Every structure is written in structure tokens, then in C-alpha cells.
Structure 1
Amino acid sequence: MTAPRDRWGERMPGLGVAAAVAAGAWLVHLAVPAVPLLTIAVAAGITVAQVPRAREALDGVLRPGLAFAARTLLRAGIVLLGLKLSLVDIAGLGWAGVATTVGVVVFAFLGTWALGRAFGLPGREPLLVASGFAICGASAIGAMAAATRARDEEQAHPVALVTLCGTLAIAVLPALWHPLGLDAEQFGHWVGAGVHDVGQVVATAQVAGSAALAVAVVVKLTRVLMLAPMVAIAASIERRRATDAAGPRPAIVPLFVAGFLAMVLVRTFVAVPDAALVAADGAQTTLLAMALFALGSGVRVAALLRTGWRAAAVGLTSWVLVAALAYGAVLVA
């Protein structure tokens, strides 16, 4: 058995590279605020993974640290993400706003999962694609993969697709704002309900002003809150499937999901100092940037082009489905 000190020694090269990329992504985001920091981190991982010499290091000396980042740091970042959510802010949407947002998540999830099954995506890919497109991008994919024990290679296509479509949304949705006849707040609601990652939501909604941005963030964080029940349900199903299998069964509610919910309750009922919230936000962003770089580094574009056309078809169709459902939610709310 490897000693804890030896394990940390093996992890440090990969963690160091992930931390350096997170810092670089932060600098790029400062220079170009319209590009979300976490999108930069995922894109950096995908880009580096296509370089043969770099791929040797990613699959070799860097692998232990990157695996730790993609698993443990991701879970820690999701726990801290709960501090962004206040149930009071969500209640401010009104019952119609909350109900339609939940409806978008549920129907987008089920529709995308069904598409994935219909197109014959292997293993847990339908579940992971549905999680990413319906809830909150690559973070949701990592969370669902952790809860259901999905293999690293099963995450590659979903991560690449949700990053691509979320980035496209930054340019496409503002171009449709006026043709669809939406006012600024309606546009913010549409963006919050239809764009995947929180950073991508901010980058897309800010073109319509502060009112649109405020609505978009609250709607988006309401979708993020759905991560907890969706992951818990998936983990419960996985637990039942594993009843007759060898080895320990997954927890009914994964520990990081419980931690996420605890942070939501803290933010709702405790007067957390602003300085603490700023520090937690910085830590959460850093942890997720490191984790998403690690997830992106597992994507092999050549293999994606050879075998991923079905996943691409599901992802692009899901992107349109989510946008259409979100537009309908705006009209209803």
C-alpha cells in the first residue's frame, strides 16, 4: 500500500500544472472579461491534450494529480458553490419562475437522456450529457460521474460538447435577443434558464445590462440547486443496481451533495461576512478551474471525431431543446 506522503508526492506535479493553468485562465479572463474563466480552463485542457508530447505527460507523471483534481477538488468546489445560493433570492423569482425553471431542468434532462439512449451512446454517456446540458455544464458532468462511478473516458465527449455549446451560446443568444422580441429582463431569464455554466451565463447576459444579469444569475443558480436532487436520485438508482455486485455500494446521498446543501442553508440562514463570501468564491473558482482543466485534459479530439458523431448529434439537439424550453419558460413566467 502506498503511504500517504508518497501519494501526495505523486500528485504534486499534476496539481501544480492544474494550479498554474487556473492562474493563467484567471489572467486571460482579466484581460478579456467576456470569456468565462472556467471555459478557458476546460478549453486549455482540451487543447493541451491534443499535443502528442504533452499527452505523454498527461497520461504519465501528471495523471495522479489530475485525477485527484478531477475527482476530489471538483467535489470541494461544488460544496463551496452552495455559498452562492440563497433560498431567499430563489424565492424572489416567484412560484411561476421557480416552477418553470425546475420544469426546464427536468424536461431537458429527460429529453437529452432519451436522445442519448436513442442514438445508442455507450455506458453512462446519456446520463452525463443530460446532466451537463440540463443543469450546470462540466461541473454537473463531474458531479454526476462521481456519484455514479462513471469512467474517465465516459466524461470526455460530454465535457467537450457542453463546453463547445456553452461557448457558442455567448455569441448566438445575444444575436437572437431582439428578433425574439424579448425585453432585457426576459432575455436574462432566457439566458439563465438556457445556458450551461454560470460563467457563460454571466458573459451572455451582461450584454443586456445589470437588470438582465441579475435575473440570469438567480435563474441559473436555481438550476444549480437542482444538481443536488438529480445527483441524489442517480446515486440511489446506482446503489440499487450495485446491490448484487461486488464491492461497496454508492452512498444514498453523496457526501459532497450533502455539503453543497449545507452551504446553501448556511448562506440562507447565517449572516456570512462579505469577506468570507469573497474568499469562498475565489477558492471555489480556483478548485473548479483546476478540476475542469483536468477533465478537459482527458478529451481526445481525434477519437471524438472518429466515434463521437452520435454524441455530437445528441449534444447539439439538446442545446436547441434547452434553448426552446427556456424560451417557453420565459413566456409562461
Structure 2
Amino acid sequence: MTRRDVTRSLPGIALLAVGGVLAHLLATTVLGVNRLLLAVGLGVLLANAVGVPDWAAAGVETRDRWLELGIVLMGARVAVDQLLATGPTLLLLVVGFLAFSLVFVELLAREVFGIPDRLGSLLAAGYSICGVSAIVAVSSGVRAKGEQIAYAVATILLFDAMTLAIYPVIGRLLALPDVVFGVWSGISMVSTGPVVAAGFAYSEQAGQWATITKLGRNVFIGVVAVLYAVYYARRDSVGDATGVADWRSLWAQFPTFVLGFVAVAAVASAGLLSPGVVSLFERGYQWLFLLAFVGLGTSIEIENLRNTGIEPLLVVLTALGTVSVLSLLASILVFG
């Protein structure tokens, strides 16, 4: 990022910071609600009541960077010993449901709802891995049309908003243990931001487990993007259809901030961080999440969601309902 880019981003970043501080003050002194959910709400209000000002657009778009940095710092608070004790089981659940979701959405789109193959693939990647990021990652390999990308993105954003509001309520109605709620939301919700927000809205421990579980899905984004590119290249007999995926392609799609999270968690678990530094990291990621979630709210534009076609909605709704129920039962069975 150049100095000019930084200068252009500063007003929007300041706007996110103001929104984060306002959410914190309202949540802790007036409304008594979760401040992360309130931050999302303030972002939605800004985007749909007055719109994001042009002078703030570049800075507001940095929201993903603050979320990623917050996740890296959160590594200092992860109970690595507890994670390692359940690691193989958790990984098996993540991979199993990712593969099931990917195939299930493809079958629903093609065989049940008659959606065009390319749109179905965008929905499958978006739901099974990490939402809009996955849609963007696979779109070039799938060779999707612009309107298909727009439909898929709008559909995913709708379910991001819906699950962010509903999951904590369901969790409390069912009195789910923190770990169960975290694993369940990390497996069955869609995008990283809403997963983290819902998890921490439930509890600190649930937020950590939701984030860790979701990161396990995210690391497969490069592999799935390359597989889709190879499949469509072979099917359409266009370009390089050798099926050989080079490491540069995989690395370009890999969420590298995950490595930072693992590094911080390893250093903290080795006792190399003082309690003061760990406390500083904790306060840091909590405030970074506030900035990120104000920005997340600005991405939810109600008018755009109204224009989403019914078939993509039905595909993702069916997949979400099925995966949500199955993953909840699996999470209770394994971690309850």
C-alpha cells in the first residue's frame, strides 16, 4: 500500500473507529446489548440510511484487514492444549462438513432447482468455505458472468445477516455449551466476520472456538479454487486443462493471516509472552473486531438483498438448514 493509499484510507478508518467507540459506549452504558452486534447494526444503519460517504469508502473497505489482524492477536488467548486435545476430531468435522456442503449445494443447484452450473458452483464455494471471499476466488476459474457473481454475493450476504442475528438466540434457547456453540457456528455459518461476531456475542470461549473452526474451513479456499478452475477448463476445453495446480496458485488464494494466528498462539502457549502483553493483545483484538464489524455492517445493503433471485436463496437456505442441524448434532455428540 502506497502513502497515497494510506492517506485516502484514513478518513474511512476514522469513521470505523468512531462507530466502534460509539458501539462500545452505547452497549456498556445505555443499551446493555452485545457491543459487537451493535457495531454491525450501526454499520447497517449508516449504509442504508445515508450511505457510506465517498470520502470514507476507501477506509471502510479496510474492514477485512482489521478482522484479520484481530484474529492474529487473538492467538495469544487460545487454549492451545485444549485445542490440541480435540484437534484431529475438530479437523475431521471441518473437512467432512466442508466436503458435504460443497457437493450438497452443487447437487441442489443442478438437480433440484435447475440453476446454471456456474452460479451453482459460486454458491457451493461461497457457502462451504468462506462466503464472498470464496466466490471471488473461484469466479475466474468458473468463468462466471458478472450478474451470476452479483447474485451469489447478494445471496451470501443475506444469509450472513440472518445467521448473525439468529444463531446466538438459538444457542441461548438450547443452552448450548460455549465450545459446542463455537464449533457449530464455525462449521455451519457462512462468512468469517459473522462467525466471529456471533461467537463472541455468545461468549469469549465460544468466539475463540468459532474462529478456530472457521479458519479450518478458510484454509481450503486455494485448493477448491484450483479444483474448480481445473474442472471447468477440462469441461470447456479452454486454456490449460492439464489439471496440474502449481503452488503459486494455491498460495495466492491462501489466507496468510492464519499463519500469524498460529505463530502468536504458539509463542503464547510456550510462555514467551508476559501477562501484560497477553492482556494488551486481548484489548487490541477486541477493539479491532469493533472496527471490522462496523465495516461489516456497511456491506449489508437491504435494497440489494431484495433483488436477489428466489432460486439461489432456496439453494442456500436448504443447505444451511441441513448442515446446521447435522453439525449441531455432531457438535453436541463430540463436544457436549
TM-score scaled by length of structure 1: 0.70
Instruction: Give structure 2 stretches of 5+ with no counterpart.
Output: 141-145, 190-194, 241-247
Q: 1:70 aligns with which of 47, 63, 82?
A: 63
- Counterpart position of 2:10: 12
Tell me, in whole angstroms, the C-alpha distance in 1 between the residues paired with 2:103 and 2:274.
Answer: 39
- How far residue 90 of structure 1 moved from its aligned partner, in angstroms, is 1.1
Aligned residue in 2 for 1:290:
291
1:61-116 CA distance string (max 9 Å, x none): 2211122x134334333433433434312133486566446544553455456556
Within 2, Cα distance between the matches of 1:37 and 1:301?
A: 22
Alignment of 1:205-224 (within 5 A): 216=206, 219-224=209-214
Name the SS of the counterpart of 1:299 in structure 2.
Answer: coil
CA RMSD of aligned residues (A): 4.0
Q: What is the CA–CA distance in structure 2 between the aligned matches of 1:146 and 1:25, rounded to whole Å?
A: 30
**How far apart are the structure 2 equivalents of 1:317 and 1:34?**
34
- Structure 2 CA distance, aligned partners of 1:259 and 1:235? 22
Other-structure match for 2:76 = 83
Range moving further from structure 2, 259-268 or 111-120: 111-120
Quote the residue 1:194 is aligned against: 184
Structure 2 CA distance for partners of 1:309 and 1:21, relative to 1, 3 Å: farther
Corresponding residue number in structure 2 for 1:165 = 163
What is the CA–CA distance in structure 2 between the aligned matches of 1:105 and 1:300, rounded to whole Å? 28
DSSP-derived class of the 2:273 partner: coil
Question: Percent identity between the aligned chains?
Answer: 20
Q: Which moved more, 1:250-259 or 1:111-120?
A: 111-120
Note closer, same or farther for the CA distance 1:252–1:172 as it changes in structure 2 (3 Å cut). Answer: closer
Q: CA deviation at 1:17?
A: 0.9
CA distance in 2, matches of 1:164, 1:254: 25
Give the aligned partner of residue 327 of structure 1. 328
Q: Is the 8 A contact 2:98 2:128 kept in 1?
A: no
Aligned partners of 1:45 and 1:295 also within 8 Å: yes
Letter in 1 for 2:213: R
Question: For the residues of structure 1 that align with 2:128 and 2:110, how far apart are their CA atoms?
Answer: 11
8 Å contact kept, 1:89–1:218: no
Q: Does 1:38 align with 2:28?
A: no
Partners of 1:41 and 1:222 lie apart in 2 by: 22
Residue identity opposite 2:58 in structure 1: P
- Residue type of the alignment partner of 2:60: L
8 and 219 in structure 1: CA distance in 2 versus 1, 3 angstrom threshold: closer
Count of residues in correspondence between the two structures: 300
Determine the structure 2 residue equivalent to 1:260.
261
Amino acid corresponding to residue 44 of structure 2 in structure 1: I
Task: Tell me by how many angstroms 1:226 deviates.
Answer: 0.5
Q: 1:322 to 1:270 in 2, by over 3 A?
A: farther
Counterpart contact for 2:102–2:124, Cα < 8 Å: no
Deviations 1:115-139 (A, max 9, x none): 56765447744422333xxxxxxxx
